[in-house]
């Protein structure tokens, strides 16, 4: 007998996949939060950099057969360099300008990177071809890759928390598409704001809350409704607690 059968197995699976999605989102919003927290600049194109990292992984690992660790390190380093370039070329001239100009300029970079990816890499999904097993726990299916991302997020958070490095690449995500940036971008952004800018723990909590809403909402209705609830939750939270989830009331 399945010991978990007393609970609704689908709900449990949705909850669990929410936790794992939360891990991915937390990892994504971690770096963004860092940019926010340290230089107070709104990088709307942040998710596109991650997307480039993913493409880098795909080409190095699947097409050029580089060892996976070499590919991962090379991607993290080159995305880091891209970030520096972006800062010097686009952000630095605008540091004194209105925040909204920085947002729009990085928005321009977003359009640029996204369409560059469409032009260069095409619009088909690329697959890393990493055959990671799907775990079966008590009748529930758990994607190993998300588990990895979850672990990476935890480790990444601890590392950043200890002020060691910035973690950019969500290497454990196996499929990549030019619109990955667009689908994750706004959400990571909202998560950072929801969890108070520059507050890593807040961002982490917000990522999980968001992911649970998307995942559980998507279970009962369509996935789209999950997003609707998540966005609506964001709007309402902005009204109730504009300083973010974890902010102390002043």
Partner 1 sequence: MRRAHPWIGGAALVALPFVYRSPYPLHILVIILIWSFAYTSWSVMGRFGLVSLGHGGFMGIGAYVTALAWNYGHVSPWLGVPLALVAGMVLAAVVAYPCFRFRITGHYFALVTLALSGIVLQVITATRDYTGGSLGYTPERYHGGSSLWALQFSEKTTWYLIALAVWAGGLYVWYRVDRSMLRYALEAISEDEDAAAATGIHVTAEKLKITVLSAGMTALAGALYCQYQMFISPDTVSGISVSLQMVFAVVVGGIYVSLGPTIGAVITILLAEVLRISFGTRAVGWDNLVYGVLLVLFIVFLPKGIVGSLLDLRRRVGWSSS
Residues that bind partner 1 (CB under 8 A): 42, 90, 93-94, 97-101, 103-105, 107-119, 123, 178, 182, 186, 189-190, 193, 221-222, 224-225, 227-228, 231-232, 234-235, 238-239, 242
Query: To the nearest whole angstrom, how small is the minimum distance from the Cβ of residue 197 to partner 1?
Result: 10
Closer residue to partner 1 in complex, CB, 27/191: 191
From residue 169, give the alpha-carbon distance in Å to each of 7, 18, 162, 219: 36, 20, 18, 28
* Burial of 115 from C-beta contacts in 10 A (0-12 / 13-18 / 19+): exposed
Closer residue to partner 1 in complex, CB, 75/110: 110
Query: To the nearest whole angstrom, how small is the minimum distance from the Cβ of residue 204 to partner 1?
Result: 19
Query: To the nearest whole angstrom, how small is the minimum distance from the Cβ of residue 218 to partner 1?
Result: 10
Closer residue to partner 1 in complex, CB, 16/41: 41
Query: To the nearest whole angstrom, how small is the minimum distance from the Cβ of residue 241 to partner 1?
Result: 10
Name 239's Cβ contacts closer than 8 Å, sequence gap at least 6.
none
Closer residue to partner 1 in complex, CB, 121/144: 121
**What is the C-alpha separation between 49 and 56, in angstroms, rounded?**
11
Query: To the nearest whole angstrom, how small is the minimum distance from the Cβ of residue 34 to partner 1?
Result: 17
Query: To the nearest whole angstrom, how small is the minimum distance from the Cβ of residue 119 to partner 1?
Result: 4
Closer residue to partner 1 in complex, CB, 106/145: 106
* Burial of 248 from C-beta contacts in 10 A (0-12 / 13-18 / 19+): exposed
Closer residue to partner 1 in complex, CB, 70/221: 221
């Amino acid at each position: 007998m399945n010991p978990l059968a007393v609970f609704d197995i689908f709900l449990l699976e949705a909850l669990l996949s929410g936790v794992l999605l939360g891990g991915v989102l937390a990892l994504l919003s971690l770096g963004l939060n860092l940019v926010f927290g340290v230089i107070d600049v709104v990088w709307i194109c942040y998710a596109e950099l991650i997307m480039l990292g993913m493409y880098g992984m795909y080409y190095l690992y699947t097409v050029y057969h580089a060892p996976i660790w070499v590919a991962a390190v090379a991607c993290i380093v080159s995305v880091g360099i891209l970030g520096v370039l972006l800062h010097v070329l686009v952000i630095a001239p605008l540091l004194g300008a209105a925040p909204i100009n920085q947002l729009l300029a990085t928005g321009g970079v977003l359009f640029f990177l996204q369409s560059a990816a469409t032009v260069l890499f095409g619009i088909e999904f690329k697959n890393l071809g990493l055959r990671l097993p799907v775990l079966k726990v008590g009748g529930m299916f758990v994607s190993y890759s998300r588990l990895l991302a979850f672990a990476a997020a935890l480790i990444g958070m601890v590392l950043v928390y200890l002020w060691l490095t910035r973690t950019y690449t969500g290497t454990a995500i196996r499929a990549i598409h030019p619109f990955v940036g667009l689908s994750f971008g706004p959400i990571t952004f909202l998560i950072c704001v929801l969890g108070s800018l520059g507050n890593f723990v807040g961002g982490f909590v917000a990522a999980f809350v968001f992911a649970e809403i998307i995942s559980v909402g998507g279970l009962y209705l369509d996935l789209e409704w999950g997003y609707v609830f998540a966005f609506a939750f964001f709007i309402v939270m902005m009204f109730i607690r504009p300083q973010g989830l974890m902010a102390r009331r002043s």
